[in-house]
Every structure is written in C-alpha cells, then in structure tokens.
Amino acid sequence: MYLYMICFALSHIMFGFCFTGDITQKGYEKKRTKLLAPYIIQTPGKNSTITQLPPPSSSSRYRERRARRSHRSGGTRDDRYRSDIHTEAVQAALAKHKEEKMALPMPTKRRSTYVQTGYSYLVLSCSDSSSGSEDETSVRRQSTVIAPPPAVNPNLQSPDSWINHSVQGSSTSSSASSTMSHGEAKPQPQSQPQPQPQPQYRPQYQPLYQPQYQLQEPPLPVSSRVSTKIQQLLNTLKRPKRPPLSEFFTDDSEEIVEVPQPDPNTPKPEGRQTIPVKGEPLGVVSNWPPALQAALARWGATQGKSPALTALDITGKPLYTLTYGKLWSRSVKLAYTLLNKLGTKNEQILKPGDRVALVYPNSDPGMFWVAFYGCLLAEVIPVPIEVPLSRKDAGISQVGFLLGSCGVGLALTSEICLKGLPKTPAGEILQFKGWPRLKWVVTDSKYLTKPSKDWQPHIPTANTDPAYIEYKANKEGTVVGVAVSKVAMLTHCQALTQACNYCEGETLVNVLDFKKDMGLWHGVLTAVMNRIHTISVPYAVMKACPLSWVQRVHIHKARVALVKCRDLHWAMMAHRDQRDTSLASLRNLIVADGANPCEYPEVICPCATSPEAMTVAIRRTDEDVVPGAPLPARAILSLGGLSHGVIRVNTEDKNSALTVQDVGHVMPGALMCVVKPDGPPQLCKTDEIGEIIVNSRAGGNMYYGLPGVTKNTFEVIPVNANGVPIGEIPFVRSGLLGFVGPGSLIFVVGKIEGLLMVSGRRHNADDLVATALAVEPVKTVYRGRIAVFSVTVFYDERVVIVAEQRPDASEEDSFQWMSRVLQAIDSIHQVGLYCLALVPANTLPKTPLGGIHISDTKQFFLDGNLHPCNILMCPHTCVTNLPKPRQKQPVGVGPASVMVGNLVAGKRIAQAAGRDLGMIEDQDLVRKHQYLTEALHWRAQTDPDHVLYVLLNAKGVTVGTATCVQLHKRAEKIAAALTEKGSINTGENVVLLYPPGIDLIAAFYGCLYAGCVPVTVRPPHPQNLAATLPTVRMIIDVSVSACILTTQNLTRILRSKEAALSVNIKTWPTIIDTDDLPRRRPPQIYKPPTAEMIAYLDFSVSTTGMLTGVKISHAAVSALCRSIKLQCELYSSRQIAICLDPYCGLGFVLWCLASVYSGHQSILIPPFELESCLSLWLSTLSQYRIRDTFCSYSVMELCTKGLGTQTDLLKARGVNLSCVRSCVVIAEERPRLALTHSFSKLFKDVGLSPRAVSTAFGSRVNLAICLQGTTGPDPCTVYVDMKSLRHDRVRLVERGAPQSLPLMESGKILPGVRVIIVNPETRGPLGDSHLGEIWVNSPHNASGYYTIYGEESLQADHFNTKLSFGDPQTLWARTGYLGFVKRTELLAASGDRHDALFVVGSLDETLELRGLRYHPIDIETSVSRAHRSIAESAVFTWTNLLVVVSELCGSEQDALDLVPLITNVVLEEHHLIVGVVVIVDPGVIPINSRGEKQRMHLRDSFLADQLDPIYVAYNM
C-alpha cells in the first residue's frame, strides 16, 4: 500500500512548481536534481539507507512525459501516484528479458466472442521469431519513453548499460521469468532434448491391445496451428522452477503435501525486543467541553452566526452554508422528534441507546451533520452507512449483516435520497438482500417538530456508553460495526486538536468521506469541538473538477486540508494551466492514505489510522507542538526482507527496494507496541515488521454485537519472548503493519488486510499493484481499476490480479502487457502470479467512492462470475509444492514371492466366479440349443404364432411384430436372395446395414440360414454423411465383406452424390435391397459342421479410437444366451423392453439373439425415437408392466436431464414404474454411479424402486461378464482412496472421506464365467482388494480378433494367455480393464459369501502423468462440477500436457470464467497442472452409441484445429 511514497517525490515536484507559477525547462531539471539528491547512491560507507535516481537528460524527455500525461483525462479515477522512479526499476527488471524472445502462445479466441466490445480479436499462431521481434520492439518502444536518463554522477554508465548490468546481482532463479522467456542463449543441459520447431504426431497412449485398424486421421500436418502453440508452451516450461528439487515433496500414501524444510538463508530478526512507545501527555485545556454535544451547545448559543459547514453543488460552487446556530437548533428539533414524535402518544419507538442507520448521500453533508448531532443529543446511536442504489450493489448483503448485528430497525434519510431509493412496483422501498426490515424516517426541517420551551436535550458528561458505530469491511468482505464510546470520541477530538494544533475559527477543506474515518473524525467531530468552518468537497465534484479542493483552499484561505493521494494526483494533473491559485495559506495538508519522501515537512502530514484504533500516529508540522521533534525520516528497505517480515536496508538491488516515510509520532495520551501478526501477540524485535497495537482512551471499544470477535481485537495483552504478559492493560489491534524507527518515529509498510501469504512469505497487495502499474499500462488497462488478492489452491495462497481493460486495447497489446507484468512481479517481488485477468471496462464491483470492492471481486472470480475478456493462468510457474513424481520401482521380487507374501498376510487370491451353467439332459433342448438357426426353426414349428419381437415408434405405437414363423420365413427369403442375387459362398462376410428394427434381426438369421457370417454396422447418418460414412466404409473394407444387405432408402444414400464426396461409391460390394424380396426358399438351411465355426463378427470403435472386430463362434453364442437366460430367468411367457443400439456387444445379443434362444418377448425401442418423445421408454415400461428392461447410459442420461423435472406430469399421465424389477444399463466401462443414483432418485416419485437400477459389464474379449439379473444380493458400493488408486493400489475408506471415490459393483458375474485379478506386468494373480487387470475365462469368450493378416501373437496374448504362476493351465482372455475383487459380507444364492467385481477403468484410456495413473472419468467428473455452465468435458494428454476440453452450455461471456475454475479443481483434487483448457460448443465432444466419449477422436480434431473452439487457454 505504501509504495506511493516512492511516487510522491516526482508528484511533489509538480506540486511544488505548479502551485507557485510556471517554471522553465532548465529550472525544472535543476529543481528535480535537487529534490532527488537525497536518493542518489553515495560512495559505500557514507549512508547505506539512501538510494539513487538519475535526473532527466533532455527537455525532450520532459516534453514527452508531459505530452503523454496531458492525453489522459483529468477525471480518471486513480488511487495511486504515477511513479517514474518505480517505472524505471520495473523497466530494469524487464530488461532481463530483453534479449529473450517471447514465445508465449497467445490464447485462441473465436472471433464471434465478445463482439460487443467493439474491437476485433487477433488469433495469432505466433512463431518464435515473430513474437520475439514484437517483444523487442515493445521493450524498445517503452524504453524510449521511460528508460532511466543519464545520471548526474559522471562515474555512472549510460542508461542502457545500467539496465543491462543492474540485474546481474540477482541470484534468484526466478520461475515467472523462466516461464516467460524463450529462445534464450543459455545452454540447455545435455539430458534435456532440444525442442523441435514443430511436434511430430506420435500418440502418447500405448493401447494394450492393438488391432490393425485405427479409426483416426492420417498423421497430422506438422504445420498445425495448435501443435505449434503447444510446442511453444512446452518450450516455456522447459526451464526449472524456482525451488530446487530438494524442496519438492515426496508423496506418501497418507499425506499429500509436507511443509518444506526452511531455507537456512532466510533472513531472521536479530535485534533486541522492542518496548512500548509512549505518546506525549494529552494536555488539559480549561475550555475543553465535558462532552462533544456541550461544545455544539456552546457554539450554537454564543457563536450562532459562525459558519460550521459549507456544502458544494455538482459544479464545485457553494450551495449553502450551515451556521452553528442552525446546526444546533435543527439537531435539537431532530432529537425531540426522534424521542417524542415517531410513535403514538403512549408508545415511544426510540429509546436512548437504540441504534439508528444514517443513510445520506455524499453530496449532502448538511443533512448528515444534523442527523448525526441530533442522534447524539437524543442519546441514540447513529450507524452511518452508504446509500443503497440497487439489489446488486457490491457488498449489499454484508451491510445487512452490519445492520442485523447492531439491531438497527430505523433509518434516517433525506427526502431527496428517499425518493431515489429503489422501489417495488407498489412504490415501497425494496427489501435489500440480507437487510432487516427498516422503518424509514425523513429528517428534512419541514418534517421536524419544534420542541416546547421547557424541553432541553440531556447532555451528560462523556462516559463509556457507545456514541456512534462506524462500519468497517474486513478482508473477507464482512461488514462489522466499530462502536466508539462518548469518552473515546471526545478524547480522540482532544488528541487530534493537540496533534494538529487546531485553533478556534479556522477553515478546513475536507475531500474525504464525512461518514467515516478521518473525514468524520476531523471534518465533523473535531471541527465542531474547535468551531472550525468545514468546506466539504463531494466525490462527484472531484470527478468533475479535480482542482475544486485547491480552489476552495485558495478562496477561503483554508489552514487545513484533508485529502487522499488520489486527490493530490488529480489536482496535479489538472493544475498545469492554472496559475492563479495558491496553497500558501495551508498549515496542514493531511494525507489520509499514504506517506511521502517529504521535502515540505511544514505542510504535508501523513498519518496512520484504522477504524478500530482510530488515529494511531500523525506527523506534526509545527515545532511548537513537539519541541525538538526530529525531521521526517525515510528508509529504503529490501522487499525480500519485508517478505520475510524483517527490516533490511537495501544496498544491492535497488529494483526490489521499497522507500517508506514515517507517519510521525504516536498520538498524545497513547501507548503503542509492535507485535507479531500471527499467533500470540508477542513483542517484535527492533528489526522486525509487526502489527501495530495501541492502548488509548481515544480508540474503538468493540465490534458491536459480536463479543467473540471483539476479544481478539480490542482486548490484546502483549507478551514477551517467554510468553509472559508485559502488563495488564489491553491494547487494540490496528490492522497496520509497521515498525518503530529512530526517534520513536512510526513507519507503516502495509495493512493486514492487504497481506498475501504465499509459501510462507508476505507480499503486500498494493506493492504488487504499483509494480503492475509501472509496466506502461496506459494503453491497456485503467490505472485506478486494478485488484490484487490471493486464493487458496492446493495448500497455498496463489496471487491473482484483475484489471479493467480499455475498450481500444488490442488482443496482442493486452497479452504483451500481461506477460510483462508477470516478468516484472517475478523479478521485483520474487513471487509467481497464478492468474492475471482483464475484464471489460466498468464491470468490477465498486465501493461507494469508486474504488474496487476486493472481496466481491474475489468472490466473482471463485464463482466464475467475473466474465474476463482476457486471461493468463500461470500454474506451472507458481505451484511449486506438488508431490514429487513417482518413480516406478523395477520388479525386483519374483511374482511367486508376491503371492506367497499375500497368502502369509492372510489375503486370498482375488478371483470370483458365477454359478455353473449346469448339464442339459433333454435331447430336444440339446438339439434346440446347438445352433440359433435350429432354435428358430424349432420354435417356428412348435409355437409358430408366439410373438418374439414388438417394435415401437416415437408415439409408442407398434409398427412391426415378428412371430416365430414370420421371422423364420423372412430369414428364408433373405437366405435365398443371398444365394441367388449375391452369389454368396458359405463362410463369406455380409454387412447388415439397417436402422434398429426387425429387418436387422431377419437379415441376421437370413445370413445364418445361408451359411454367411453377418457383420452388423450402424447406418450412416443422412444429415452427416461426411463424418459417419467413412466408418461404414472402413468396416466394410476391413471385414472384406462380399455383400451389403440394406433397405431401399439406405441403398439410395449409399449411391448418392453426397456419399460420393466422402467415399468411393463405385467400389461398394454387391448391395441387396431386402425391402421387396420374392417368395423363395433356400434349398436347405445351412448347418455348421462344428460349433467352433464363426457365427458373426462384432465390430466396435473403442473410446481410444480403435476399430476392433472380434469373432464370435456358435458355441459362444449358445453359451452366452444360456447364461443370460439363467441369470435373468427368461422364458416364453416373459416380456422385456430393450432401449439400446443393436450393433455390437451385449446390446446386439439382447436385441437379436436372446429372444430366439429363450423364447421371451422383446419390446424394441430404438434409442433415436427418444429424441422425438423423451418419455417413450418409461411410458412403455408402465404400459406393458415390464419387469426387466435394458438401456444404455445415453438413454438414461437423456431421461434424467429431459424428464427429471417432469415427474409430476408423468404421474398425471399414469406412468407407474413400480412393476420394474430390474433396469440394467449395458456398458463397457466403470458404472456411472452419479447418473444411476440421479435416475433412481428422480423417478422414485413414479414408483421406481431404488434397488431396480444396476449395471452390466462386458469387453471386447467377452461381451458379457457381469449382469445383475433377478436373484442374488443387491449391487454393493465401496469408497476407495483416489490417491492410492493413482499408485495402482486400493485403499478402502469411509463414505465422505476426503479424496474418496465411490465405486459400484458392476452387476453379478454371469453363470459359467470366472474372473481373476492379475498384475498386468508380472502376469501373476493378486490378492483380494488389490488393483489389477481383469482376466476372464468363460465358454462365451470371443474366439479372437478378426484380422486379415492373422496376428497370432496378439491373439495368443489377449485371448489365450496363461498366468505366470499359480494355475498355469487355464486359458484366460485379457479384458484390458483395471479392477478388483472384494469378498463382501453378503451371501450369494449358493449360500457362500459373495465376491463383488469392481471395474475401475480401461487400461488403454488411463493417463500416465507424473508417474501416476489417472482415469479420465475422475478428472472429467471434477471439471464438470467446477461451474454451472460446463455441460460435458473430456481430457487427454499431448506431449505430457494435460488438455481439458469443456463444452459451454451458457453464454459465451462465461467462457473465460471456466479457465481458472477448471485449473483450480484439477489441481486441488488431482494434483495435476492443466496445460491447455479448450472451451467448445455443446455437442463437440464425440460420443459413441454406448454414450462413451471418443477422447482420441477429440484429440486428433483439436490438434488438427478442427474444433472451432470458443477459447483456447495455454496455461503457463
């Protein structure tokens, strides 16, 4: 905060000459040199506390600066001085990066985003050379404006060499600078590979199973814009971070982060313990009143015509003058009205001691004065607050907390103000959020009652009862009320009178807020005590005419002025052309918020204040007040030392120096100590920075209504180094950080609420602001609209800077400015920024007088409501406390030893099995079940009219049925057509291209009848042929199909011109349209010679982009159908409903095979029909009283999102799901617990049993491993520790434990299936509750991959593999999924304890990052929770960078809000730094028919720059 001190020097020069007339250029330089002489570095040994600044070399520099300043509007808000001195230090720090080329990848924005701001966004693919040259010109351009001019000292070198050499001594290996610098000439260590200019496309993932066909584009062109940017990002991250490796933390399974060992070089305080500092005695003056009200009564009676207050209108001209007589009479009238005229005759609404809110605008001080003194005379307690303008005011609800804690029920206001308050349509005043109900009372004179002659207000001698309550907002934004007693108010006025030497009848100009702080203490209270004439200059007048306060001083010959640094700065800006105003009359220029390197000690009075301690210290300006008082002093301190809380004189690196000026002596009658800000209030050492605490009668007494918080602030007893209290008198915490200098002068370096504790070091928010402002912000951001705060992410505070961007700033300029701010702050403060955000102008929440409401801004940032237009995240730079990457240990122990060790530890081998399939005794059944063709033929003969299939449309109307005989005859016709039209030979492959329906089933059996091998393929989407037709073509080519069976409509599509744009339509195999076939029968129904022959091929695209075809034999088909029949108890009289895609996996088996085998009726609901009628599936279950139904996750999600809010409507339609016994989700992934729970909860209202919903699990090597079925225990849920899971371990924890992940059992293991958990590296079995790969042995395992070339080794490895020990005979198939088996307390149907199988995720999909194994779904779940606007997300890695793609379902202005939230949540929950965040439109993330994300397709599209993203952020 107090970095303004540096700034005051130059401003004061301007102050000096501007107020006394013009000055020549030569005179300017001469005077500047003289003024800066105290800062010139002397020869070593003379004075180590002095630093140096060179003067300007030429008039052109001065003219340039003047011209630059004159372009800026005098009315801009600015809380800080412009500091050329600090700017030069910043430029020197940035010069480190001058030679290094900027290769930061600029974020990519869609041009349509933020069109309303009126400037186009550049989307650059910045190569090293181009951005480097831009950076150099940027530095060159700025240095021509602000680089340090040649020094007076002839021994000093030229500015350029000073810039270049001044940074040599910095030993810090700065992480932010290393992140921001590129292409530098430093030799890279040999071990690091040299970055290639453009990355080659080499997938990082190594799938465990590699069938020959990958459904992906050919290798990406190396000129891809995205790839180039990622390469730039990698280059920026090459250099080491600041902490050496020894400071990184080793991860153990229990604790994530440990505190690093303290650095032995950290500066520590070495002085002796401080002693309390006593202020001068408070003098006793005979005519001081016994109470403040008594002073008003005295002046009202004896000096009635003496002016008390002059208010100004909006133009800065006097509006009215309130005399002491009028002030007294009106205050008495108000006091009488408040006590006697508010309620009925018998009812007194207000009693002495009640609290009353004062709501008056800043432009109406007269009404406020009357109200304040009226309350004092009525002995009610005024609580001044700001005028509420709308429900959305910054901090409005916190003001409600203040009013509630103070028990306020009545508000005083003026008639004009009341009319301006926001109203409801009925005309009542709006009920503001969090506010108690208030009764509003207007205090204009015409509404006040004149008291009777015998009524006089009671004016007791000042006592300890509260006189008024002043509001104060703390760091978190909470507003509390500091109660000031009557005696404290009076004593404070006396102390200020003595310290400032106020005299009766003086004139005072007040620019500060008269409702609180110094504006109230000096301008309202002390002024009345001393009969001072106050001229109040409102904030609105200052905005319109910054010179108004100077003119008032000149016109009224004012002796005292109360201002802020901002007001000095504004006046200086506006004063250049004014030569007729003089400040010669001023005796005291009291500066409320800063100190300055002071050349005019007789005028400028910096001070230190806080709402709790009130005035702590103020600089005296008259030798008579404190005889022999030392002259003002200054200290040039090391920022590095300050960050460790110690005082170190800066002698080496002047770039990281802070010049602080004293704020004078302790107030009269006060006692002051400096104590440690953290922990017990232990006295600091003499060279230590601490919190200033004060004991005085003139201070706050308590936080009204908050006794708990009061004790910690208002009743502090300091202790010595041994923890022993130094006395019994209580001190008050001031919230100011500082130290006591020579001559008992007080120095303040900041405030507790502006303190950022990062990695154990303290940084001052305002110091960071000053550094940011010194990076030439004029073209990019508004100087006065910049906020700095810290957020807690991953066990440490992270620094965030938010600024308002100018509308005319280009994307490139903004990005350059942000990157240079990073460099400057890193070099000067040695702290990395976590996030730098630029928001559109006038969008940050404002305080009443135009500053930024920091706590609301921070909350907006954390809630994702900031809506930045530019953002730069730098987690790689500043997050240095990540656990050390895991080094995988080589397997030194033999697998057999591991097993023996497990057995010794009492752990059983992790294996589980379904019940036996049992023997088939009936010969009919043997024949019937041998092949599905025979089963269908047998059913057509024995039960021809039994309906096997019912197909529904979107309206729930039956559009097709198939009895046993109809299906048989249709299959015969197709078999005949294949033989005749297609000339198909036995064993050839035939593609079935049908929409979901009965035609598909008939075509499948037709192929079996003809002895062909069917291959079901999803038909291309007519509206999206370009994306879907190539997949169809690929499957046809890979399967070497001889023929395509399809419908008439699809035949036309395959031969259309549109299709010709995507594939070669001339090379399709024979296409047979089965819509209109002649009635022919095949000469015979084909019977395979052996059950091991292939029945059909099952092709599927995995989530990793692999197209995999597996061979399913007739024996496997029979075994699978029998297993499902037993598990689900299926027989002819049963009905099931299926809402699944029928093209692969278990979905195909249930749709086409199970009914023919078991004889039950299947009601078929094509999933695409739900797009037209969401309730179709649920209505069908209710209408047909279905007990068992099967669906996919995409169907369940559609119903949850679309119907979740319409359960009442479903009830009204008569939908009742109480009939459903089992609802099974068919999937090849970990159960989506959140979705199944949501579905169960939402539809519980329409009768769905929570026990009904369960999941199935299958894989490529075995289509159905688990299926819940009808008997056996309910699926169980366990909670595992995610940290352990990343280490390939399973550690079970309690529900609700931190970092816990719920996992649901994937259904019961099917009859005939055995699973075992195996270490994928050693291939040895693992113990119970250990994570490993799931291996399966079952009669319905697939026979192998369908390949043209016959990869024998791959077949053996995945389908016929053996354990390395234990049971080396059994052949197992590897599923490629990680999971574990846990023996539960539940009993299976057999009476044994039930073994539950838990699937964790696919091995192919896992991300290997930092030596740990992550499952994408876990990261995606966290990301989706980060913000309400994230619809879906997907993650993948590229060259060791984690890329997060999120779909934005809200407004595009939310896009950039997501970047920090996503980065935060992944860091907090997964301890990973996100490299790239991509925000895209809904529906961009590709999802397959099973509802699984196609992450590798997404990755390829991203790298090929085909996503059309809304925003791409490259985290530094």
pLDDT single digits (tens) 1479-1490: 999 999 988 777
Q: How far is Cα 59 from Cα 146, in angstroms, rounded to an integer?
A: 13
Q: At what angle do helices 225-236 and 1495-1503 cross, to 10 degrees?
A: 90
What is the SS3 assignment for 875? helix
Q: Which residue has the tokens 């950080």?
A: 737
User: Is the per-residue pLDDT at 168 higher than 50?
Assistant: no
- Let me know: does 1012 contact 1005? Beta carbons within 8 Å: no
User: Is the per-residue pLDDT at 388 higher than 70?
Assistant: yes
- 618-667 per-position pLDDT tens digit: 988 764 445 556 677 888 888 888 999 999 887 656 677 888 888 999 99
What is the SS3 assignment for 855? helix
Q: What six digits make up the tokens of 1455?
A: 């896009």
- 174 to each of 758, 825, 833, 1263, 1473, how far by Cα in Å? 15, 10, 12, 55, 19
User: Is the per-residue pLDDT at 1177 higher than 50?
Assistant: yes
Q: Which residue has the tokens 């002649």?
A: 1078
Q: How far is Cα 138 from Cα 129, in angstroms, rounded to an integer?
A: 14
Mean pLDDT across 167-175: 33
Q: What six digits make up the tokens of 628?
A: 């022999």
Per the model's pLDDT, the better-predicted residue between 570 and 219 turns out to be: 570
Chain mean position to CA 599: 47
Q: How far is Cα 746 from Cα 689, in angstroms, rounded to an integer?
A: 12
What is the SS3 assignment for 1064? coil
Mean pLDDT across 47-60: 35
pLDDT confidence tier of residue 160, bands split at 50, 70 and 90? very low
| pLDDT of amino acid 1384 | 82
Secondary structure letter of residue 1317 according to DSSP: E
Lowest mean pLDDT among 624-633, 982-991, 1012-1021, 1120-1129: 624-633
pLDDT confidence tier of residue 237, bands split at 50, 70 and 90? low
Lowest mean pLDDT among 242-251, 903-912, 1440-1449: 242-251
| pLDDT of amino acid 677 | 92
| pLDDT of amino acid 781 | 87
pLDDT confidence tier of residue 1085, bands split at 50, 70 and 90? confident
Q: pLDDT over 70 for what percent of the chain?
A: 78
User: Is the per-residue pLDDT at 77 higher than 50?
Assistant: no
- Let me know: does 864 contact 1457? Beta carbons within 8 Å: yes
Burial 331-347 (b: 16+ CB within 10 A, else e): bbbbbbbbbbeeeeeee
pLDDT confidence tier of residue 890, bands split at 50, 70 and 90? low
User: Is the per-residue pLDDT at 245 higher than 50?
Assistant: no
Strands (DSSP E) found in 111-237:
213-214
What is the SS3 assignment for 738? strand
CA-nearest of 478, 539, 392, 1149 to 845 is: 392
Q: Which residue has the tokens 């154990």?
A: 760
| pLDDT of amino acid 739 | 94
| pLDDT of amino acid 239 | 54
Mean pLDDT for the chain? 81
Mean pLDDT across 814-839: 91
CA-nearest of 618, 610, 564, 571 to 591 is: 564
Q: Which amino acid is at 1447?
A: E
| pLDDT of amino acid 633 | 80
User: Is the per-residue pLDDT at 920 higher than 90?
Assistant: no
- 410-439 per-position pLDDT tens digit: 999 999 999 999 998 988 888 888 899 999
| pLDDT of amino acid 1467 | 93
What is the SS3 assignment for 1086? coil
| pLDDT of amino acid 1368 | 78
CA-nearest of 1009, 982, 994 to 1081 is: 1009
- Let me know: does 852 contact 846? Beta carbons within 8 Å: yes
| pLDDT of amino acid 117 | 38
Read off the pTM. 0.81
Mean pLDDT across 501-527: 94
| pLDDT of amino acid 224 | 60
Mean pLDDT across 553-578: 81
Q: Which residue has the tokens 């744009």?
A: 1061
User: Is the per-residue pLDDT at 14 higher than 90?
Assistant: no
| pLDDT of amino acid 776 | 74
User: Is the per-residue pLDDT at 1048 higher than 70?
Assistant: yes
Q: pLDDT over 90 for what percent of the chain?
A: 50
Mean pLDDT across 719-746: 92
- 258-301 per-position pLDDT tens digit: 556 677 888 899 999 999 999 999 987 777 899 999 999 999 99
pLDDT confidence tier of residue 111, bands split at 50, 70 and 90? low
| pLDDT of amino acid 82 | 39
Q: What six digits make up the tokens of 888?
A: 């995988």
Secondary structure letter of residue 632 according to DSSP: P
Strand order in 1511-1514's β-sheet? Answer: 108-109, 1511-1514, 1474-1480, 1441-1448, 1430-1438
1512 bridge partner residues: 108, 1478
Q: What is the DSSP string of 1158-1190?
A: H--EEEE--GGGGGT-TTHHHHHHHHTT-SEEE
Secondary structure letter of residue 775 according to DSSP: S
- Let me know: does 1427 contact 1448? Beta carbons within 8 Å: no
Per the model's pLDDT, the better-predicted residue between 109 and 188 turns out to be: 109
User: Is the per-residue pLDDT at 729 higher than 80?
Assistant: yes
| pLDDT of amino acid 900 | 52
CA angle (710 as vertex; 706, 712 as ends), nearest 5 = 135
Mean pLDDT across 846-856: 85
Mean pLDDT across 1171-1200: 93
Mean pLDDT across 538-565: 89
Mean pLDDT across 993-1018: 96
Mean pLDDT across 704-710: 90
Q: What six digits make up the tokens of 517?
A: 């702080």
Length of the chain in residues, anyone?
Answer: 1516
Mean pLDDT across 1104-1127: 90
Q: How far is Cα 287 from Cα 668, in angstroms, rounded to an integer?
A: 18
- Report for 176-190, 343-357, 740-754: range of highest mean pLDDT: 740-754
Lowest mean pLDDT among 453-467, 885-899, 1003-1017, 1234-1248: 885-899
Chain mean position to CA 165: 40
- 1358-1375 per-position pLDDT tens digit: 888 889 887 878 899 999
Mean pLDDT across 1491-1506: 89
User: Is the per-residue pLDDT at 377 higher than 80?
Assistant: yes
Mean pLDDT across 1344-1357: 68
| pLDDT of amino acid 145 | 31
| pLDDT of amino acid 246 | 35
- Let me know: does 687 contact 277? Beta carbons within 8 Å: no
Mean pLDDT across 1246-1263: 92
User: Is the per-residue pLDDT at 79 higher than 80?
Assistant: no
| pLDDT of amino acid 1366 | 79
| pLDDT of amino acid 891 | 56
User: Is the per-residue pLDDT at 166 higher than 60?
Assistant: no
What is the SS3 assignment for 145? helix
CA-nearest of 1198, 1157, 980, 1141 to 1070 is: 980
Mean pLDDT across 162-173: 32
Mean pLDDT across 196-208: 35
User: Is the per-residue pLDDT at 457 higher than 60?
Assistant: yes
